[in-house]
Structure 1
């Protein structure tokens, strides 16, 4: 492969986007349809039902986002039955205001009473249930004591695609979150890097995400110099100096849906090797994004990126999967990794983020969120991907 000929120039950043309008809200009918589809999927997988604790699955299915406490909150779904949300009595008024509440029945339990005894009559004795991955062990063990013949399996194992395929309004929210992340990146290029700490740049990124409409900032990775060789380096007290490569990886939630973008910048003009490594990663990211189309396996996206990096001799320095799904949380199935044979389906959204990491020296990562279309793939991020020079 001729690396130089394969890379085309890209436009620079444009002006900050105008504030986007509030998205069209989901209705209780939307949540009812999601719950019904999930229950049918569970039956198709041979499950007696689904048990959904507070977290991304509950938010997706009902619009309810309670605090995750030691008190049991659990959505019980089973084909042919009305959905039931078991809630602490003191939280029942909030649950009744959730967007999906009209489509389900609330069953409250009071402090001092047994929440597992309240839940047990809703479950088939001896049934096998899919359980949301973040369910507290305290609650699962409580149900097992109450119903010892039941068995449980994590949703990632039995229904990994539960939230993977997004509808039109979900895609609009993800596109708005990606545009906000693009705008934050354009603005961070304007701030000084040299002489400031990684934590200073991380704080700037968090503030910019919020300025552009994010209600939640999940991560702001700033890996300068040798710290960039650690893919998930926590921004620390290292002072950024002239000559550093700096990996930026940041994202969070806007309108309840995730953003996640990575770009690598250089403080001052880069050296020949730094530019070349960045160009290789950029070509790998482009090749993987171009491979996206309905019907191919998730692992084929990973293979497309890895083939480029391996061809140029850095295969052992690409040390993580190529991508992960994104939706109501910034990491969810599907995963773009060797061994994942799940075929791509229109509406799936995931990151494409190859990298090269040279221990003790520097790292490079470039990441966009890509959605599968009817005839290929589309990047939701438009931020320039060339190696930007900062001061």
Structure 2
């Protein structure tokens, strides 16, 4: 039995079956490369689902985590600590606001928890007669009860209802349908700048401005889920900055901690102070180690020019995939280092398997879409190594796909 097979057997015997049995057991990472339990090496183009923004073992991240863990690992929210304040101030600044102005931050441990906080914020701020929330078809906002209620993927939502919430789903990117659904009974609109879990589905130009206008006209809150798109993934600190809009509540997670669990909900205007003392909380939210990690991530993105790297190498990645001209590729969606390779057949699972056999980790996010979200530190040579190998990967997939 291989080391991987042994771990898989132990995994199946000890863990619940909700993830199935993962095909690869990773034991070590360095830079953009990871190694499995049997010593095989892979170029990581998934980054823990857009989480490992600095790759693996980055010295700035490991030093920040080690130093903070040695100094103070946990406080609970009965006490404050410097890293939490520094991180909140830093995020507010990156969002173009000033500490003490009209923005405030709540820290959680994940994107799902950030969206749960957003739900409570908008409900607290809503006036009388508002009880309906508008979301979009195929949206993904998390798997806890509140976040799942606004998740537009019926297959994962419906088995766990009812949720006790009035939620209406409209087609993503359809501004007319959105305007028709958002009226004075609407508490909030939840939307992603790009639908990540649906297959990196981009909205038409101007869509976020249409969402902002519809919310303004009805007095509803605009909640923008940037859990995947935020923290440099698209070549901007936050995707909405390129669209020239500001939401009422912004949710973040994934890349913020670079591998450490942290989420954030940022409120603006009246949504910044909607929660009163005792309205919400988190034992681990904003803990010193996660906040130190996030500060290291933000510092490194800034000092190493990783926003420009995401924009430039994201374009190189998309161009290289397109230039391959393989018949299994219908096109490439997305922006920055967040791309969806759209296939001409529902062969994404087979592509994922073939890519691993060639030494590349990719993600079959939909039956006909491969998601690529490599670390923001990825190099030109690593991008070109993947695009050069892609035709052979796809040829192997063709042979395996009926």
Name the TM-score, length of structure 2 as normaliser. Answer: 0.22
Greater C-alpha radius of gyration? 1
Choose between structure 1 and 2 for higher RCO, CA contacts under 8 A separated by at least 6 residues.
2
* Structure 1 length-normalised TM: 0.23
Larger relative helix fraction: 2
